[in-house]
Amino acid sequence: MTTVPAESSTTDAFVRSEAAAFATVSRTGYFGEGATDSNSTGNPRIVLGEWYGQTPHAASLGSLGLSSVAVTAQLQNCAGRYAGKTVIVTGGGRGIGEGCIRVFFEASANVVIADRDEATGSALAAELNARGAPNAALFVATDVSVVAQLQRLVDEAVARFGRLDCVVDAGTRRTRRSTSSRSTTCRT
């Protein structure tokens, strides 16, 4: 809820300003203690994205049948809630992991998309980074079943953003196997 100062100068470049936070989709957001552009007195207050020239959202969740209106509604009140922090989401390229990535990005966090699928993961990172908040999304191709790649994932995230505040393990898979040995796999 509060904006945490960067640890080192190398991190500063990746901590988005309050104005940059509202380059995202959320129409409203919360900024906590500490004086900011919209909060010169230091009193927590709700602020509106449009005050910062926020542009309408072009929904890319259309493939899931979520309209632009629904996406915008479901990203309400996220902006600023995790500003200056870094989160890793495994399975972040699609499904629930993608939802986490988008919400945390809306919350002004630096997001690390860890996914085995390079195409969807890098596309999501590119889409988020194109929203006027460069360097806020990082894609790391990761097969979570390979332990060494998880170590590399953490190392890359910390090297890039200088800190790590949250890990979301969404990179799992459901396997249902029928007695006829026809197996199907799906991600949950």
Residue 150: CB minimum distance to other proteins, A: 5
> Which pair of structure tokens corresponds to residue 1?
């809820």
Among 71, 133, 137, 138, which residue interacts with other proteins (rule: CB under 8 A)? 71
Rounded to 5°, the CA angle 163-169-32 comes to 50
Q: Is 58 in the site for other proteins (CB under 8 A)?
A: no
Interface region with other proteins, contact rule CB under 8 A, candidates 8-16, 63-71, 121-129, 130-138: 63-71
If the CB atoms of residues 40 and 188 are measured against other proteins, the closer one turns out to be: 188
If the CB atoms of residues 96 and 141 are measured against other proteins, the closer one turns out to be: 96
- What is the spatial distance between Cα 126 and Cα 135, in angstroms, rounded to a whole number? 10
Q: Is 66 in the site for other proteins (CB under 8 A)?
A: yes
Q: Is 36 in the site for other proteins (CB under 8 A)?
A: no
Q: Which residues fall within 8 angstroms of residue 138, CB to CB, at 6 or more apart?
A: 110, 111, 112, 113, 125, 156, 157, 160, 161
| Crossing angle of the two packed helices 118-129 and 95-106, in degrees rounded to 10 | 20
> According to CB under 8 A, which residues from 96 to 135 bind other proteins?
96-104, 107
Q: Is 75 in the site for other proteins (CB under 8 A)?
A: yes
State the DSSP string of 3-66: PPPPSSHHHHTTSPPHHHHTTSS-SEEEE-SS-BTTBTT---EEEEGGGGTPPPP--SGGGGT-
- What is the spatial distance between Cα 109 and Cα 54, in angstroms, rounded to a whole number? 17
Residue 127: CB minimum distance to other proteins, A: 15
Site residues (vs other proteins, CB under 8 A): 1, 4, 61, 63-66, 70-71, 74-75, 78, 81-82, 85, 87-88, 90-91, 94-104, 107, 144-145, 147, 150-151, 153-154, 158, 163-179, 184-188
